[in-house]
């Protein structure tokens, strides 16, 4: 059973629309949701929380529909926003009591373990916590009711690399039993390159790719070469960029031989997720 399934999902909001989008989030894996600002990522995440409802199509969570199973579904989801949703005047342990009351599966021992691991004083007021500490607190709250799906919306934005690495390690542990899943939306693609198993790439309300991360990275090569090659050969370069030293862009993998590239003084590299988003965006 999949953790999340979009079936022909369509939603229009003013001039922007998502049209007949279908993909799923595999159970037991980390899925990265990527795309430029305004691509539709927030709409998709909000629909998973039943805050946005489709004009057409449907969203199934754990094989269930919100119409009949909203309470059951939401108890299985942990959510971490870029911005916290806590009462800032309360102390950490007071805010925890409020959150715990919503979940019959709340594990207090697990929560205290996270507090110790993250170094968060439970007697401190929420407003006194740094941004990093607030994110750690939000993650502890989200994980302490032992959800089947953790949805993270830009949780590591603006945080230092040490803490980001700590969060990534925690996510890998979280899915270790093969029964839990993570949907991770972020602009920091290096985080996804480190831990994501699958990628959902949306752009302009349309699905560009859904599948294994390695399959996406294996679709293209990043090519850097002299401008003269562009004038002498017709290259199917995707998202071409030029400068005084030459050109850079993507090529479909296998489109040209290694010998051809070497003979024409080209450098060929594996693209990053950032490269793919930047160059494919320019041609769509």
Task: Kindly state the tokens that stand for 246.
Answer: 């030459």
Span 8-34, average pLDDT: 93
Give the domain CATH number at 122: 3.40.50.300
Span 255-281, average pLDDT: 88
Q: Do residue 188 and residue 252 come from a single domain?
A: no
Q: What's the whole-number average pLDDT of the chain?
A: 90
Judge whether residue 283 has pLDDT over 60. no
Q: Do residue 222 and residue 178 come from a single domain?
A: no
Span 176-202, average pLDDT: 92
pLDDT tens sequence across 33-75 = 999 888 899 899 999 999 999 999 999 999 999 999 999 999 9
CB atoms under 10 Å from CB of 246, counted, come to: 18
pLDDT: which is higher, 87 or 9: 9
- Long-range contacts from 254-258, C-beta under 8 angstroms, 24+ separation: none
pLDDT tens sequence across 79-115 = 998 666 788 899 999 999 999 999 999 999 999 999 9
Q: Do residue 119 and residue 248 come from a single domain?
A: no
Output the DSSP codes for 234-277.
Answer: ----EEEEEETTEEEEEEETTSS-HHHHHHTT-EEEPPPHHHHH
Q: What is the Cα–Cα distance from 196 to 125, expressed in whole angstroms?
A: 34
State how far Cα 157 lies from the chain centre.
Answer: 12
pLDDT at 284: 43
pLDDT: which is higher, 253 or 181: 181
Judge whether residue 233 has pLDDT over 90. no
Pairing of strands 198-203, 30-34: parallel
Q: Where does the pLDDT of residue 261 fall: very low under 50, low under 70, confident under 90, or very high at 90 and above?
A: confident
Q: Where does the pLDDT of residue 8 fall: very low under 50, low under 70, confident under 90, or very high at 90 and above?
A: very high
Q: Where does the pLDDT of residue 158 fall: very low under 50, low under 70, confident under 90, or very high at 90 and above?
A: low
Q: Do residue 28 and residue 85 come from a single domain?
A: yes
Q: Do residue 186 and residue 222 come from a single domain?
A: no
Q: Do residue 209 and residue 251 come from a single domain?
A: no
pLDDT tens sequence across 118-157 = 899 999 999 998 888 888 899 999 999 999 999 998 877 6
Contact indicator for 58, 210 with CB cutoff of 8 Å: no
Contact indicator for 101, 145 with CB cutoff of 8 Å: no
pLDDT at 163: 81
Beta bridge partners of 202: 207
pLDDT at 50: 94
Judge whether residue 255 has pLDDT over 90. no
Q: Do residue 71 and residue 115 come from a single domain?
A: yes
Q: Which domain holds residue 255?
A: 218-283
Span 9-18, average pLDDT: 90
Q: Do residue 98 and residue 80 come from a single domain?
A: yes
pLDDT at 232: 73
Q: pTM of the predicted model, to two decimals?
A: 0.89
First to last CA, the chain: 33
Q: Do residue 252 and residue 277 come from a single domain?
A: yes
pLDDT at 84: 67
Domain boundary among 216, 245, 274: 216
Q: Do residue 85 and residue 49 come from a single domain?
A: yes
């Amino acid at each position: 059973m999949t953790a999340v399934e979009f079936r022909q999902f369509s939603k229009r909001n003013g001039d922007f629309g998502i049209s007949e989008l279908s993909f799923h989030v595999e159970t037991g894996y980390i899925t990265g949701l990527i795309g430029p600002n305004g691509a539709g990522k927030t709409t998709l995440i909000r629909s998973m929380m039943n805050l946005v409802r489709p004009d057409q199509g449907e969203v199934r969570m754990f094989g269930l529909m919100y119409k009949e199973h909203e309470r059951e579904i939401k108890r299985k989801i942990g959510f971490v926003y870029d911005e916290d949703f806590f009462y800032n005047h309360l102390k950490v342990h007071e805010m925890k009591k409020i959150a715990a009351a919503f979940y019959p599966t709340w594990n207090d021992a697990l929560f205290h373990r996270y507090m110790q691991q993250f170094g968060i004083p439970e007697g401190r007021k929420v407003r006194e916590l740094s941004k990093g500490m607030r994110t750690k607190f939000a993650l502890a709250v989200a994980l302490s009711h032992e959800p089947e799906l953790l949805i993270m919306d830009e949780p590591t934005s603006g945080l230092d690399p040490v803490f980001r690495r700590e969060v990534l390690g925690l996510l890998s542990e979280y899915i270790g039993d093969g029964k839990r899943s993570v949907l991770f939306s972020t602009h920091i693609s290096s985080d996804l390159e480190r831990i994501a198993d699958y990628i959902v790439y949306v752009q302009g309300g349309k699905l560009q790719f859904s599948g294994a991360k390695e399959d996406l990275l294996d679709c293209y090569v990043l090519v850097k070469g002299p401008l003269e090659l562009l004038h002498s050969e017709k290259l199917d370069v995707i998202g071409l960029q030029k400068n005084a030293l030459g050109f850079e862009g993507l090529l479909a993998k296998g489109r040209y031989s290694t010998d051809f590239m070497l003979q024409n003084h080209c450098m060929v590299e594996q693209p990053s997720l950032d490269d793919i988003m930047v160059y494919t965006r320019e041609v769509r």
